[in-house]
Amino acid sequence: MTNDLVRMTAREIRSRLHDRDVSPQELLDALAARIAIVDPSVNALPTLCFERAAERAREQDYSGTRLQGLPIAIKDLIAVAGVRTTWGSKIYEHHVPPHSDLLVERLEAHGAIVYAKSNTPEFGAGANTFNEVFGITRNPWDTARSAAGSSGGSAVALATGMAWLATGSDLGGSLRNPASFCSVVGFRPTIGRVPVDPGAVAFDRIAVDGPMARNVGDVAMLFDAMVGRDARDPISLYDPSESFEAAADARTVPTRIAFSKDFGVTPVDPEVATLCERAAGRFADMGIPVEEAHPDFSGLQHVFQTLRAVSFAASLGPLLETHRNVLKPEIVWNIEKGFALTSEEIIRAMTERSRIYARAVEFFDQYDLLLSPATVVPPYPVEQRFVERLGDHEFSNYIEWCSIAYAITIIGAPALSVPCGFTASGLPVGLQMASQPGTEAHLLGAAMLFEDAAGLSGQLPIEPRGQR
């Protein structure tokens, strides 16, 4: 029965919960059994809280809620009351918060049961999931490879049947990169769509939280339970008028689509570029015009690197003086970069971002969708901290290889990574799909249309595979 359950989609599980064909406790038992078998090979869910989950399963009636008592894994950047929450840092190695993040409160109110925390790099910094508290998370398609990050633990748990649903977060691609590397779906929504604890920079954020699952329909279902206004988050948006799950099921047909292999900002592995171009061609096969085009992202590197550094200085700066010797070098560099910025550099980043956004709005007046690779390389060796070079191009820092993802971050648009194929060596590749800010419903519908055409969503879960 465990194998039967873990292979079902989240929406199938919700239906069985609704019909009382299965109980939340039976689901928790199935997950515990699966984790015991699988996680030693991949290290995706280092913190488990099955006792807390079982207590909630016993004491609460989940009938009538959106998620009906579905278990969910929470990324270890998000506080869960009474559960060890470390942010992947030795500074908080033994931290147990008394209160949950408001997003966790919202999910639990909608019938989610938290049973595990998923691994993340320290404070979510970097696109390879490792830290000094829990170690390395490995890619299940090849355990010698990276799962990317920073939502790598969530992506791996989904791919291997240790989760039906999981949360992720995304500043420079932290939802989309691991989704691409693990052949699952990761969705970065419009800024403000998902309310979160605002932190030190309440009114000017570029990071968001979002849903992760094995397919688009499950992502849309979880997304419905995440969105809505919360006064504690000053930029959170009011409740949408329609269900995102219903919008996904409607399978929106775009009228005109743009594809770009590189947005004019980054080199791309040729095999990845070819696979994504072929994937974009599936829309052309439906009779939808697909053209090579992208917004003008001139100034992207200065804008993103500056705003990211400001964010690091504001949120993690106080830790630099007291815990410099504990923080990993990439974080120290990012914080110091933020403190060293001049007012002129910050002002230029703000104004250049506004110009990029204005050009993107004009672009999306012509195209319903913008397609590209979600990552510029296939999964790389796990012992590499980050991608240092691609071809003749040497990346200037540990995050620049994610340019194709953070170009979308800067314009505040919704974007997701959906599986689109595999390299000759069997490693997953994701297609990034983006649309006008605020148009998540249309994007999810188009993604469901693509998913049907690609026919890859039934391939999970997989058993972890050794080095190829």
Query: Active-site residues: which are they?
Result: 75, 150, 174
Q: Which two tokens stand for residue 78?
A: 């998000």
Contact 11, 166 (CB under 8 A): no
Distance CA 245, CA 149 (A): 26
Contact 63, 23 (CB under 8 A): no
Collect all residues with Cβ–Cβ distance below 8 Å to 355 and sequence separation of at least 6. Answer: 299
Query: What letters, b where the CB count within 10 A reaches 16 and e where it falls short, cover 365-382?
Result: eebbbbbbbbbbbbbbeb
Half-sphere CA count of 243, side-chain side, radius 13 A: 13
By the 10 Å C-beta count (0-12 exposed, 13-18 middle, 19+ buried), 30 is classed as buried
